[in-house]
Structure 1
Amino acid sequence: MSPATALRRNSDLGAALAEARAAYAAARPRSAAQHERAREVLPGGNTRSVLIYGPFPTAMTRGQDCRLWDLDGHAYLDLCGEYTAGLFGHSEPRIHRVLHATLEEGINLAAVGQGEERLARLLCGRFPSLAQVRFTNSGTEANLMALAAARAFTGRGTTMVMRGGYHGGVLTFPASGTNAATLPLPFVHAAYNDSDEAARLARAHAGDLAAVVVEPMLGSGGCIPAQPGFLAALRALADETGAVLIFDEVMTSRMSGGGMQARLGITPDMTTLGKYVGGGMSFGAFGGRADIMAQFDTTLPHAGTFNNNVLTMAAGGVAMGEIFTPEAAEALFQRGEALRARLNEIGRQAGVPLGFTGLGSMMTAHFRQPLPDRPYAASPAEEALRELFFFDMLAAGIYLARRGMVALSLPVGEPEMDRFVAAVGEFAESRAALLRAGGIAG
């Protein structure tokens, strides 16, 4: 690196980001061409907004274990983990075997099967809140059906949600502003980790409060854990008002054999699941107290052609019955805790506003100190640093979420974590001046 390049790299955030974008684009001509072709028939060039980023997204062609290869031949360590859905990596042989065996017996059987009962029994045996459970095709559907059940059960209409919360593509609640795709249901918005505001709003809306839905750790909102006292306060408020407390554990269910509810000893009335529980296939689930779920025996319909599709039921049974045991969940949680501690030590040693919030195997980079305990509106400089971090990690052969989120998969071991720690250390050292200028230090 020339002295002039080094000076620009460490003194001007805009120039550094432009340089990183240019290097990214120059190294991926086939991904660029694929994006241009896709834009002709797909608005934005794909069908997942989270994958749309400039100048164009990297197109992947193959995955094995915790590795990915893109259209231009670059190899990556996969730390995105399909936004927590890819818990088992890309080539878990036990899941592959059961999927192949299931295909041999036929698909689209239009009937009940043994696989759904087996998976349901596994989940009810693991999550304290699940007396009974039903399946869907996504976490979004699971949350929608949980809300429908709570509204029908209580005869009320309003749902308390948290600013910064994400419960699916049509149930998104930004830290500031609104999301045009969110369904126009009656919502009241509370501040995450603010027990006093939650109490005030719950009591003000008590007569029509059907549900309180919360992530025990914000996922897309920055991997910010809920304070145990906050979740306990929501449990007490639901009891006080007669509302149904719903834990969205679509992501956090991986934090122990029975999710965060088991780890914290706080049991909601209903729980929603998704992502990895179906073995990496399209999957969602919702369940809870027997009296709430009994509505589906009598008055409340719940349709879905692929709710019990044989591939997901078979993969989920193996995933939750043989692979992701409570012991495996605890080991993964502890690996992630150790990794996050190492990463946060890098920022402290370098004296830069760089750190990671999270729990266990999920974490997100932030460019401010102290680390946040609730969602926030990032400054333009923070957003630029987040993008620069993403591009620098790609240049180091590490693939993570554009928003800076990491979700470890089971194949990620100590050598892979060492590699990530080294890459973050290089980022903190080489971009130190930019971090001090653009980050926020308390």
Structure 2
Amino acid sequence: MANTLRSDHSLAPKIITLLHEAENRYRQNHPNSQNLHEKAIGILPGGNTRSVLHTDPFPIYMDRGEGNRLIDVDGHEYLDLVGEMTAGVCGHSNPIIRDAIISTTTKTGLNLGATTAAEASFAEKIRNRFPSMERMRFCNSGTEANLYALSLARQATGLNKVIVFNGGYHGGVLMFLHGVAENTVDKNDWVVGTYNDEEGVQRLISDNKGIAAAVLVEGMQGAGGCIPGSVKFLHSIQKATKENGMIFIMDEVMTSRLAPGGLQSTIIDPQGNAPLKPDITTLGKYIAGGMTIGVFGGRKELLSLYDPRPFSESNVQKQPAQMSHSGTFNNNTLAMHVGLVALSAVYTPEVCTKLNALGDWFRQELLDRCRGTRMTVTGVGAVCNIHFGGSHEDGLEILRIEDLNARRSIDDSVLGDIFWFRAVQKGFWIARRGMLALTMGTTRAELQGFLDFVEDISREFRNLQAI
């Protein structure tokens, strides 16, 4: 159990009994998954190669996905509410994406070792949606996109340190979930601030003038609990970075799916004049319809540092020196062709708007069913997180990960586990940490089934008088 949890009272025996019952049913219902896990332990550490997917006592092994449904190796079907941690917004078998994959492999081929026309076409489509990305380059993941963005900021400024925020997640080697640099590169080059602290971030940026190259921030912290950044906080970062010679990097790897122009397009300054316009924006996850992809882009003059032409206008007597950016799969044909059709014909602005409106309705309905419990919900649009550890009725607004940690007891953690086991038993696939990301094609009727489940389990928890 995480040492951040409070242990100010013993676990309620009824809660422990419920947990054991739920876990026993889980074991009984998933023998094939358990067998596969025990075999995998012999070749993969812990039987796992993606930490977030491990669940005790063993993970469920999925056999296939169809639309917004998953079927596991024991034959159980689930409504997919994980949405591949926001990457799977287009679902598992979209016919347009399927046809693009087939067409690319049969007519174009894979990894040609050469430039193709699809690269510029895809980039143009992205710029139409995200106009702050005046120039951009492709890579292979959101993690890579953020690493390249940081390299660009450091090269442009000649400085090394970067301001990030507790609860931030910027990829597999860029985690700051407990106030320190976890599993990161350049462990000594981070200044960790407090998310949604408007005055504090202004001081932090000012104090690190001439020291920090950039500020890297999510518009909504994803792995940190789907906690939205406030308008004042994010615009304070934009203003202070400009005043202090830093690069403003907005990580929209998860959040760019929340509005046609990304979350940045919805965050209008307090005077109501203009949305955010980061110096660099990073994308990934869903942007290529489920293919491996990363994108980083922003102001033309910044991205010109990656211009490989020896005598171009951008690098004649250029200081600092030009940068190299290679990667065998940066322009792989599947990502380029599938991404082009995904933005053009699948996750269109209209579809995006409709799905996120459904998500806003869903989140409010969840909040209504959590009344009188120690459950609450945070999020934006079609991405949200159910939390155990204090109701939205208790008067304490969740602004940062510290608010969640301060409120969560061991009992809350156990109740969260029971909730997950019960959801899986009922045929709802959700992240163990309570994160939900809706996929295209999901209906109100399907979500109503999950809402009914939440209402039933909330009633049971109230009757326990334990939350």
Which residues of structure 1 form unaligned runs of 5+? 1-9
- Residues in 2 aligned to 1:213 and 1:177: alpha-carbon distance in whole angstroms: 15
In structure 1, the residue matched to 2:399 is 373
TM-score (norm 1): 0.94
CA separation in 1, counterparts of 2:153 and 2:179?
26
Q: Identify the match of residue 335 of structure 2 among 290, 300, 312.
A: 312
Root-mean-square deviation over aligned CA pairs: 1.5
Equivalent residue for 1:384, pick from 382, 389, 414: 414
Alignment of 1:72-91 (within 5 A): 72-91=74-93
Instruction: Tell me how far 1:363 sits from its aligned partner.
Output: 0.4
The percent of aligned pairs where both chains have the same amino acid is 42
Return the letter of the residue paired with 2:139: T
Distance 1:43 1:428 in 2: 37
Task: State the shift of 1:382 in Å.
Answer: 2.2
4+ residue segments displaced more than 4 Å:
none
2:236 aligned with 1:215: no
Point out the more displaced range, 64-73 or 383-392: 383-392
Partners of 1:51 and 1:432 lie apart in 2 by 30
Q: Counterpart amino acid of 2:359?
A: G
Question: Residue 324 of structure 1: CA displacement?
Answer: 1.3
Counterpart residue identity of residue 93, structure 2: S
SS of 1:335's equivalent in the other structure is helix
Shift, 1:362, TM fit: 0.3
Q: Deviations over 1:242-271 (max 9, x none)?
A: 111011000110111110111111111110
1:18: Cα distance to partner?
Answer: 1.7
User: Where does structure 2 lack aligned partners over 5 or more consecutive residues?
Assistant: 1-11, 268-274, 309-321
- On the 8 A contact 1:98/1:314 being kept in 2, the answer is yes
Query: Could you tell me whether the CA contact under 8 Å between 2:283 and 2:295 is conserved in 1?
Result: yes
Partner of 1:360: 381
> 2 CA distance for matches of 1:295 and 1:19?
59
1:90 maps to a residue whose letter is H
**What is the match of residue 303 of structure 1?**
326
- Conserved 8 A contact 1:209-1:241: no
Aligned to 1:3: none
- Asked if residue 203 in structure 1 is aligned to residue 193 in structure 2, the reply is no
AA partner of residue 294 (structure 1) = S
Paired residues for 1:287-436 under 5 Å: 287-298=297-308, 299-348=322-371, 351-367=372-388, 368-370=390-392, 371-376=397-402, 377=405, 378-434=408-464, 436=465
SS at match of 1:431: helix
Tell me the number of residue pairs that the alignment of Structure 1 and Structure 2 aligns.
427
Q: Contact between 2:133 and 2:280, CA under 8 Å: does it hold in 1?
A: yes
Give 1:4's aligned residue.
Answer: none
Shift in Å, 1:185:
4.7
- Please tell me whether the aligned partners of residues 370 and 391 of structure 2 are also in contact (alpha carbons under 8 angstroms): no
Q: Contact 2:216/2:248 (CA < 8 Å) preserved in 1?
A: yes
Normalised TM-score (structure 2): 0.89
Shift of 1:23: 1.1
CA drift at 1:322: 1.2
Cα distance in 1 for partners of 2:412, 2:337 equals: 43
SS in 2 for 1:206: coil
Task: Please say if 1:250 is aligned against 2:260.
Answer: no
| 1:63-74 correspondence runs (5 A) | 63-74=65-76
Q: In structure 2, how many angstroms separate the alpha carbons of the residues matched to 1:358 and 1:221?
A: 11
Structure 1 or 2: more helix by fraction: 1
Which residue identity lines up with residue 135 of structure 1 in the other structure? F
1:123-272 to structure 2, matched below 5 A, reads 123-264=126-267, 265-272=275-282
Shift of 1:11: 6.0
